[in-house]
């Protein structure tokens, strides 16, 4: 039985949830898009868009996605932290770049460093606090009604 196109499996292998208002995040996404070379192996979802939907993205709401990087594999598995980079680069055929981050001694150090980055990312990139960003999203949601989801 063939499924209709709207029900068939996605062509992408991993859906990367990124903050489109973060300069470093945007730089990384652009580099990844170049590595993808139009193959569509990675779906890039900007969580900063007002129509971002947690329901369409592994149940990861905006606040959670802002705290740490997340991705959703085509099978629905949610991954986060440095594992996202390992898997995205692997899908793009460049897994060797992040392979050392899985090594016994280096891996925990990289995970710790990423944890610090995630904790201070907004401040280091000159952005408002997460609480302020959440409040701003609520105001936008109230003003646009059914046109946007903001979650």
pLDDT surpassing 70 at residue 50: yes
Are 47 and 20 within 8 A, CB to CB? yes
Q: Rounded mean pLDDT of the chain? A: 92
**3-state SS of the chain: helix, strand, coil percent to 5?**
50, 10, 40
pLDDT band at 141 (very low <50, low <70, confident <90, very high): confident
What pLDDT, on a 0 to 100 scale, did the predictor assign at position 46? 98
pLDDT score for 118: 95
pLDDT at 143: 86
Rounded to an integer, the average pLDDT of 132-149 is: 82
Q: Where are the domains of the chain?
A: 14-145
Q: Which of 57, 42, 51, 138 is nearest to 92 (CA)?
A: 42
Task: Find the Cα–Cα–Cα–Cα dihedral 146, 148, 149, 150, rounded to 10°.
Answer: -130
Of 35 and 9, which is predicted with more confidence?
35
Please tell me the predicted confidence (pLDDT) of residue 145: 66
Angstrom distance (rounded) from CA 95 to CA 100:
10
Is the pLDDT reported for residue 138 higher than 70?
yes
Strands 42-46 and 14-18 come out as parallel
Instruction: Kindly report, residue by residue over 65-124, the tens digit of the pLDDT.
Output: 999 999 999 999 999 999 999 999 999 999 999 999 999 999 999 999 999 999 999 999
**Are the C-beta atoms of residues 133 and 141 closer than 8 Å to each other?**
no
Does the structure show a pLDDT above 90 at 43? yes
Q: Is the pLDDT of residue 6 over 70?
A: no
For the entire predicted model, the pTM comes to: 0.88
Residues 54, 151 contacting (CB under 8 angstroms):
yes
Distance between CA atoms of residues 137 and 145, nearest Å? 12
CA atoms lying within 13 Å on the CB side of residue 83: 10
């Amino acid at each position: 039985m063939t499924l209709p196109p709207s029900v068939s499996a996605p062509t992408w292998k991993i859906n990367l949830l990124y903050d489109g208002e973060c300069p470093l995040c945007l730089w990384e996404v652009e580099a990844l898009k170049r590595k993808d070379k139009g193959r569509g192996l990675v779906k890039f979802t900007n969580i900063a868009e007002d129509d971002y939907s947690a329901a369409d993205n592994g149940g990861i709401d905006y606040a959670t996605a802002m705290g740490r990087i997340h991705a959703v594999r085509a099978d629905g598995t949610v991954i986060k932290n440095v594992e996202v980079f390992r898997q995205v680069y692997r899908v793009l055929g460049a897994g060797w770049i992040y392979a050392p981050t899985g090594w016994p001694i280096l891996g925990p150090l990289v995970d710790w460093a990423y944890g610090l980055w995630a904790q201070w990312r907004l401040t280091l990139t000159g952005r408002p606090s997460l609480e302020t960003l959440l409040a701003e999203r609520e105001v936008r949601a109230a003003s646009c009604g059914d046109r946007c989801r903001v979650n």
